Structures are given as C-alpha cells and as structure tokens.
Amino acid sequence: MTEPFLIGDNMTGGYGRGPDILHNCTIAVNPGEIAVIVGPNGAGKSTAMKATFGMLNVRSGSVRLDGEDITNLSPQERVIKGMGFVPQVRNIFPSMTVEENLEMGAYIRTDDFRSTIEQIYDLFPILRDKRNQAAGELSGGQRQQVAVGRALMTQPKVLLLDEPTAGVSPVVMDELFDRIIEVSRTGIPILMVEQNAKQALEIADRAYVLVQGANAHTGTGKELLADPEVRRSFLGG
C-alpha cells in the first residue's frame, strides 16, 4: 500500500468537549481520482470532511497531505498547502457578486489571478454571464458552481466538496458531475460527500460508506454498487 495523496487516517474526534462523532474513520484520495463518501444523514460525513480540513481537532489519528503530517495545521494553513474546501452550508457570500465571490476565493494569492477567473468562467460559462449579479440571486446549481469556483481560485492540489449537488434537479446534478469529472481530469483529486449515492458511486474511483462515524464499506464505486449489503442498506435494493 502506497501512501495516498491526501488521507484523514484513523480519525477519532468530535466538536469541542462533546462526544466523539468519528470513530477511527479513514478517508483518502489519490491524483486522478474522485473519491466519494456516502452514508445516512448524521453519519458524520461532514464531520469527517471538516476534520480533514482542520475545522475540528481529532483526538487520535492524523491527516497527511503529500506525505506531510498536517494534523496540527489550521484550515488557512491547509489552504496554503494546497487544499480547497467547499462546505455543505454557507459556501458563498450571497450579497456579493459572482465575480467578487471568486476574488474572495483568491484571498491567499499575491500574484495576478485574473487568468484563474477566466479558467473558472470557461469551466462554468453561466458564471461569466452572471458575473455582476449577486450570488444569492442565482439558482441552486449556479450557486454551487460559484462555491466550487471560489475554491478553485487558490489553484488547489486537492479539492474537498461536501454535497456539491444538494438541492438541485437531476439534470443539473448530471451537469455538475460532468464539471467535477472535468476538474478531476485537470489533475486535481476530488474527495466529495454525496447524498445521491447511486450516481456518485458510478463516478467514484474510491468510495466510502460511513455509518455512525465509522467506515462501514470501502471499495471502488463499482465494487460498492455491486455489494448486496450496500445495495440493500443504502441504495434501496
């Protein structure tokens, strides 16, 4: 087993002084891959993402990026190391324009980021059309594009997405998945939580089912789709 590019390894921990939410939970992703985390509501998927991004302290376990132990780094320090994160909620500034949201995403950069904005407009052309509109006025799918675009502004080496297709129609979900696949083909590994389990497993190179803060099933997306227990418990048969 070689070391994954990004791994939250054997993470145990919870919020503040509260009980442990994660129990020896491991999630990882490698270059060229889309890794997907699925599981029931409250399973700890977002908590595992936040722990990997440094938004809560793990009591045991570690997080490593490109072979470096980053367990004790702040989220901001992890962004500087190359992590991009799109949280499940409050992932845009609704009263700011689309373009201002992208500019905010570049907050750690001191170089000229104009060409990155153009790359994001090429990836999500609708955002170019709506660049001067308040992000809060956009549709759900368009707001998610703003959120992903904002995270791409730091030119991350790995992208963490928590439910990027939440609240969008099946057609828009397919479009967002296509864009996410496109981002992964540019060489950015993607670790994402998805509530559309079946569709997400279909595009997953690596997949995790989390239950009650622990790894319940791990495999390729295809393997989990074919696993009778996963099908029965999580995919509706």
Ligand X SMILES: Nc1ncnc2c1ncn2[C@@H]1O[C@H](COP(=O)(O)OP(=O)(O)OP(=O)(O)O)[C@@H](O)[C@H]1O
Q: Least distance to ligand X from the beta carbon of 193, Å?
A: 6
Residues 53-112 close enough to bind Mg ion by CB under 5 A: 88
- Give the total of residues touching Mg ion (CB under 5 A): 3
Whole-number Cα distances in Å, 52 to 3, 15, 123, 174, 177: 16, 14, 26, 27, 22
Q: Least distance to ligand X from the beta carbon of 213, Å?
A: 7
In the bound state, the residue with its beta carbon closest to Mg ion is 46
Which of the listed partners (ligand X, Mg ion, none) does 156 bind, with a CB threshold of 5 to 8 Å by partner kind? Answer: none
Which of the listed partners (ligand X, Mg ion, none) does 42 bind, with a CB threshold of 5 to 8 Å by partner kind? Answer: ligand X
Binding residues for ligand X, rule: CB under 6 A, are: 15, 18, 21, 39, 41-47, 88
What whole-number distance in Å separates Cα of residue 122 and Cα of residue 20? 42
What is the rounded (10 degree) CA torsion for 51, 36, 31, 143?
-80
Q: Which is nearer to ligand X, 41 or 132 (CB)?
A: 41
Q: Count of alpha carbons within 13 Å of 53, Cβ hemisphere only?
A: 24
Stretch of residues binding Mg ion (CB under 5 A), selected from 40-48, 78-86, 129-137, 174-182: 40-48
What is the rounded (10 degree) CA torsion for 35, 38, 43, 48?
10
- The residue from 46, 91, 97, 145 that contacts Mg ion (CB under 5 A) is 46
Q: Which is nearer to ligand X, 159 or 197 (CB)?
A: 197
Contacts of 77 (CB under 8 A, 6+ apart): 54, 70
Which of the listed partners (Mg ion, ligand X, none) does 164 bind, with a CB threshold of 5 to 8 Å by partner kind? Answer: none
The one-letter code for the residue type at 45 is K
Q: Least distance to ligand X from the beta carbon of 42, Å?
A: 4
Q: Which is nearer to Mg ion, 71 or 88 (CB)?
A: 88
Q: Which is nearer to Mg ion, 88 or 199 (CB)?
A: 88
Sort strands 34-38 and 206-211 into parallel, antiparallel or unpaired.
parallel
Q: Least distance to ligand X from the beta carbon of 21, Å?
A: 4
Query: Position of tokens 């999580």?
Result: 234
| CA-derived radius of gyration, the chain | 17
Q: Which is nearer to ligand X, 44 or 141 (CB)?
A: 44
Q: Least distance to ligand X from the beta carbon of 44, Å?
A: 4
Residue 109: which of 62, 41, 155 has the closest Cα?
Answer: 155
Which of the listed partners (ligand X, Mg ion, none) does 21 bind, with a CB threshold of 5 to 8 Å by partner kind? Answer: ligand X
Sort strands 214-219 and 206-211 into parallel, antiparallel or unpaired.
antiparallel
What whole-number distance in Å separates Cα of residue 87 and Cα of residue 31? 21
Using CB under 5 A as the criterion, which residues of the chain lie in contact with Mg ion when the complex forms? Answer: 45-46, 88
